[in-house]
Chains A and B, each alone.
Chain A
Amino acid sequence: SQQGEEDPQALSIQEGENATMNCSYKTSINNLQWYRQNSGRGLVHLILIRSNEREKHSGRLRVTLDTSKKSSSLLITASRAADTASYFCAPRRGAQKLVFGQGTRLTINP
């Protein structure tokens, strides 16, 4: 199964700054998904980028995908306290089960 490796493991920034986290994976994919998890809650699907796409936007989120480097990045602009959460990437290959990496723990300081 496919598993993403997120980097950094932890990130602490000031409110209003941009946050960037990265994901690397090992094999070819159909799409790559990003999820957010607030402490003790369920995961929320943020954005999906297909293998033939290079960049996608959703509100303050920008995701890029470089299939040649097998990597993706998630940029959160103008961060808010509510963005404090763990972020997981999930590379998806066909019907393969979705496996989550260790995630990036993002802390937004007021």
Chain B
Amino acid sequence: DTEVTQTPKHLVMGMTNKKSLKCEQHMGHRAMYWYKQKAKKPPELMFVYSYEKLSINESVPSRFSPECPNSSLLNLHLHALQPEDSALYLCASSQDSERGRTGELFFGEGSRLTVL
């Protein structure tokens, strides 16, 4: 199984709503990532979890709150977002073992978020 599953595929929310994006992988990977991608731009790294601990936060506003409940799951909690946060949110995972870090990332299909 080489799949990263993201839900929901599409999400529309108001600026006062609280919602969550979910990501799941069953490849035994120990690193998981959130990327944000605006139209015609490359993915921008937001967060990295390594062994269920937050290892990188790219100065993301606190209205985005990541959570890694276990090694297979990654959530992104959304609260009080702005219209400019509308984007494709991509989850990825990688093996990132201690020896030979090849670091190939496996991506989900993304969650298309629209903030009204």
- Chain A residues with CB under 8 Å of chain B are 30-31, 33, 35, 40-45, 48, 88, 92, 94-95, 97-103
Q: Given the complex, which residues of A lie within 8 Å of B59, measured CB to CB?
A: none
Do B107 and A44 have beta carbons less than 8 Å apart? yes
Contact with A along B101-116 (1 / 0, CB 8 A): 1111111111010000
| Pairs A–B under 8 Å by Cβ, sample size 24 | A31-B102, A33-B103, A40-B88, A40-B110, A41-B110, A42-B6, A42-B90, A42-B108, A42-B109, A43-B43, A44-B107, A88-B42, A92-B101, A94-B101, A95-B101, A97-B48, A98-B33, A98-B45, A98-B103, A98-B105, A99-B45, A100-B42, A100-B43, A101-B42
Q: Determine whether B85 belongs to the interface, using a CB cutoff of 8 Å to chain A.
A: no
Contact with A along B9-49 (1 / 0, CB 8 A): 00000000000000000000000010000000111010010
A43 to B42, CA, bound (A): 10
For the A-B complex with A88-B42, A98-B103 known, give 8 more contacts whose Cβ atoms are closer than 8 Å. Answer: A31-B102, A33-B104, A40-B88, A42-B92, A42-B110, A45-B106, A48-B104, A100-B42
Do A31 and B45 have beta carbons less than 8 Å apart? no
- Chain B residues with CB under 8 Å of chain A are 4, 6, 33, 41-43, 45, 48, 56, 88, 90, 92, 96, 101-110, 112
Q: Is the interface of A mostly helix, strand, loop or mixed?
A: loop
A1 to B92, CA, bound (A): 18
Q: Given the complex, which residues of B lie within 8 Å of A33, measured CB to CB?
A: 103-105
Cβ distance B92 to chain A, nearest Cβ, rounded Å = 8
Q: Given the complex, which residues of A lie within 8 Å of B106, measured CB to CB?
A: 45
Q: Given the complex, which residues of B lie within 8 Å of A100, measured CB to CB?
A: 42-43
Nearest to A47 among chain B residues (CB) is B104
Do B103 and A95 have beta carbons less than 8 Å apart? yes
Do A95 and B96 have beta carbons less than 8 Å apart? yes
A71 to B50, CA, bound (A): 29
Nearest to A50 among chain B residues (CB) is B102
A98 to B106, CA, bound (A): 12
Q: Given the complex, which residues of B lie within 8 Å of A101, measured CB to CB?
A: 42
